[in-house]
Amino acid sequence: MLIAVEAEQAERDQAADCARIDDAIALSERDIAALEDLPLDTHEMRKEWSAIRDRTILTIRDVLHNVAKRAAEAKATEDWMTQKLVPKESDRMVIGEFSVALREVPTSKLVDYLRYLIQIEDQARVQSVRMVFTGREDHKAYDATFGKLLAQFALAEDGDLGERLARIRRLPERVDARIANLFGVYSITNRSHALMLPQLRQIEAPMIDACDAGRLSAEATHDLPA
């Protein structure tokens, strides 16, 4: 787990290591581009490209390991902070009542409810949505978005820690994308090569409609003291 001081150092180290990886990838890109000017047949081109790939991976292997390790530690810290969210005793009635009201709400809509409740800082109902969401059989399809929102809520009172952890996790994603773009798919046609990143299917959580937003707003303020 990363505490505030450790997270600050980990973010600096993560950025430095990712910069080293970027430099190695940039060098590989130049080397691959230079192959175009050489009188190589298809077999020789593939052999040279493979040599560049293997050399690059060997160069950045240990750095990639450190980057992945820090990202895992950041994620573990976020999970630990999220698990620390404990309902207040005074909120238990609100949590119970709202949980009942959410029984018929589709799992996809719970993500939008969570986003809205975080915006209005309704901690009791955030706990309700969390409890209901965890109990849904199809929650895994929305775990990534729901988890990020809940982590942001859990870390909101810890200053920059939440943003630092998020940056530590996001940096490897950018590096992975560059590596995939460079070495993921390779084809040669008439002495030319193409390095392409396969298109990933984008999944977006459905947005809450106006009717639901109005109903939720009314429910969120129903039990507030005058």
CA-to-CA distance for 40 and 32, rounded, in angstroms?
12
pLDDT, tens only, 116-147: 888 887 878 888 888 888 888 889 998 888 88
Q: What is the pLDDT of residue 225?
A: 47
pLDDT, tens only, 147-182: 888 877 777 666 677 778 888 888 888 888 888 877
Tokens of 101: 């009201």
Q: What ranges do the domains of the chain cover? A: 4-222
CA-to-CA distance for 188 and 168, rounded, in angstroms?
36
Q: What is the pLDDT of residue 86?
A: 58
Q: What are the angstrom distances between the C-alpha of 159 and each of 4, 8, 152?
A: 9, 12, 11
pLDDT, tens only, 17-74: 999 999 998 998 888 888 888 888 888 888 888 898 889 889 999 999 999 999 999 8
Residue whose entry in the numeric block shows the structure tokens 């999944």: 203
Higher pLDDT, 117 or 211: 117
Report the candidate in 168, 166, 172 with the shortest Cα–Cα distance to residue 20.
172
Q: Please classify residue 37 by burial: count the beta carbons closer than 10 Å to its beta carbon, then call 0-12 exposed, 13-18 middle and 19+ buried.
A: exposed
Q: What is the 3-state secondary structure (H, E, C) of the chain?
A: CCCHHHHHHHHHHHHHHHHHHHHHHHHHHHHHHHHHHCCCCHHHHHHHHHHHHHHHHHHHHHHHHHHHHHHHHHHHHHHHHHHCCCCCHHHHHHHHHHHHHCCCCCHHHHHHHHHHHHHCCCHHHHHHHHHHHHCCCCHHHHHHHHHHHHHHHHCCCCCCHHHHHHHHHHHHHHHHHHHHHHHCCEEEECCEEEECCCCCCCCCCCCCCHHHHHHHHHHHHHCCCC
Tokens of 15: 């950025």
Strand partners, 187: 194
pLDDT, tens only, 1-29: 566 668 888 999 999 999 999 999 899 88
pLDDT, tens only, 85-95: 655 555 567 77
Q: What is the pLDDT of residue 85?
A: 64
Residue 44 contacts residue 191 (beta carbons within 8 Å): no
Q: What is the pLDDT of residue 65?
A: 92
